[in-house]
Every structure is written in structure tokens, then in C-alpha cells.
């Protein structure tokens, strides 16, 4: 007979996959190397390679130094700046929303698994909780997938960004490569899609099996109460006053 605990093993694995996807999504948010620009030699960029992320653009330089990055010079990319391309502006907003949706989905899944493993007599909201967790995981995957694919398209089509002069970036790169940020973002999206799909496939046990299980739990709860009531009744019968003895005492 199928037990309620035996129905959520796949969802437990899905929670681990979704949590790994959430961690990789957070890593993607902070990686600088979304786009790898190869530039012409002779500029302030010593290594002839610059990195463009969704928050800042950086490159190694022996003449320009940002104190907190030592020999790396970095400039921040603002959301409301005129030069910020739409794919980077969208990534700044959607990646943060994906992080929040993934965290909320993991929390709902933990609630559902707690119902499965610890509160078997309150099993009615379990499927709804798993459905909600799956929907949030798929939402997080879509929110992160859109900016990642958009930036991937910009790299493959070698689109440029018109940085201000203080960025010391060339007007256009010689070529572009896909950076680790986009690759990690794609992996995170795949993990969250897989996790959400597994959450949505959860099925409760069949009705008769679940009812028999509930009846067994009910018997385990009611039987000690009936036995205690029976013992009290027996004790009250054994301790009943003897009327003949009381009449003899009154003589």
C-alpha cells in the first residue's frame, strides 16, 4: 500500500535541484564576465580584454586603478543611465526578481515536505503547496532566462555599448565571447525548470489507500482514549458504595 511519505521522494530531490539553481542564480547576479570584449592593443586596457557585466564594466590596467580592485579598473553601470542597453537594464531587475521568486518557491516546498513527513493527519494542503512551489520555480526560471538569452543574443550579434568617456572603454570591440555569467545563468535556469516540473507532477495517494491510512491513525488515537474511559468505568463500578453496609452502620 502506498504511504503518504513514499510519494514525496522526487520532490525532495527537486528541492535540492531548485536550491542549487537558486545559488547559481545568485552567483550569476554577481559575476562580472557576462560579455568578454576583445579590444585593440594600445589603449588603457593592458590585457586587451574587457569584461561587461550587468552591474559594472572592468578591465586590467597598469595606468588606471580602482583602489578596491587593485590593478583592475571598474566602472558601475546604472539602471537609469542613458548608455545602459535595455538587455542589461532588464537583467538588473529580472535577475533580482528571479532570486526572490526562487527563494519563496523553496520555502513553500519546505512547508509541503514538512506536511508530508510530520503532519500526516493534515495532508489536504500538500498538493496545493507543491503546485505553488512549482509555479514559483518556473516563474524564477523564466525571469532569469529572459535576460540571459537576451544578453546571449547581443554577444552573438556583436552588439556594442556606447560607454561614457570615463569608462575608458573602446566604442566597439573587435569581437565578443560569451562569458561565464551567461553560462552559469543558463545552468541555473535549467535546474529551476527541472525542479518546478517535478513539483507540478506530485500526486497524492489514491483515495481508498489514504482513507485506510487515516483510519489506522484514527484508531491509534482513539483506542488509548477508549481504554482509559473503560478503566475509569471499571474502577467506578468496583468502588460503588454498599447500601447494606450503610444500613447496618445506622443501626
Q: What percent of the chain has pLDDT over 90?
A: 40
pLDDT tops 60 at residue 9: yes
Closest CA to 6 of 193, 210, 212: 210
Tell me the three-class secondary structure of 97-127, residue by residue. HHHHHHHHHHHHHHHHHHHHHHCHHHCCCHH
Domain ranges of the chain: 5-210
pLDDT of amino acid 3: 60
Q: What is the DSSP letter of 158?
A: T
pLDDT tops 90 at residue 141: yes
The mean pLDDT value of the chain amounts to 79
pLDDT tops 90 at residue 103: yes
Burial 160-182 (b: 16+ CB within 10 A, else e): ebebeeebbbbeebeebebbebb
Task: Identify the CATH number of the domain defined by range 5-210.
Answer: 1.20.140.150
d(CA 135, CA 151): 25
Amino acid at each position: 500500500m502506498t504511504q503518504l511519505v513514499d510519494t514525496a521522494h522526487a520532490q525532495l530531490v527537486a528541492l535540492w535541484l531548485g536550491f542549487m539553481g537558486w545559488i547559481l542564480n545568485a552567483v550569476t547576479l554577481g559575476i562580472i564576465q557576462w560579455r568578454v570584449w576583445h579590444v585593440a592593443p594600445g589603449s588603457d586596457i593592458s590585457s586587451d580584454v574587457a569584461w561587461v557585466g550587468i552591474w559594472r564594466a572592468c578591465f586590467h590596467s597598469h595606468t588606471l586603478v580602482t583602489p578596491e580592485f587593485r590593478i583592475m579598473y571598474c566602472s558601475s553601470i546604472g539602471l537609469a543611465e542613458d548608455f545602459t542597453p535595455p538587455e542589461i537594464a532588464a537583467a538588473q531587475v529580472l535577475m533580482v526578481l528571479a532570486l526572490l521568486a526562487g527563494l519563496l518557491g523553496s520555502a513553500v516546498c519546505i512547508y509541503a515536505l514538512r506536511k508530508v513527513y510530520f503532519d500526516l493527519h493534515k495532508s489536504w494542503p500538500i498538493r496545493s503547496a507543491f503546485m505553488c512551489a512549482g509555479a514559483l520555480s518556473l516563474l524564477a526560471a523564466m525571469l532569469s532566462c529572459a535576460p540571459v538569452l537576451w544578453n546571449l543574443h547581443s554577444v552573438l550579434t556583436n552588439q556594442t555599448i556606447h560607454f561614457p568617456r570615463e569608462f575608458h572603454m573602446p566604442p566597439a570591440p573587435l569581437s565578443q565571447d560569451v562569458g561565464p555569467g551567461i553560462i552559469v545563468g543558463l545552468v541555473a535556469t535549467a535546474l529551476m525548470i527541472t525542479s518546478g516540473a517535478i513539483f507540478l507532477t506530485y500526486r497524492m495517494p489514491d483515495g481508498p489507500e489514504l482513507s485506510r491510512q487515516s483510519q489506522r491513525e484514527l484508531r491509534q488515537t482513539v483506542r488509548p482514549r477508549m481504554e482509559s474511559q473503560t478503566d475509569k468505568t471499571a474502577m467506578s463500578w468496583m468502588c460503588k458504595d454498599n447500601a447494606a453496609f450503610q444500613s447496618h452502620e445506622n443501626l
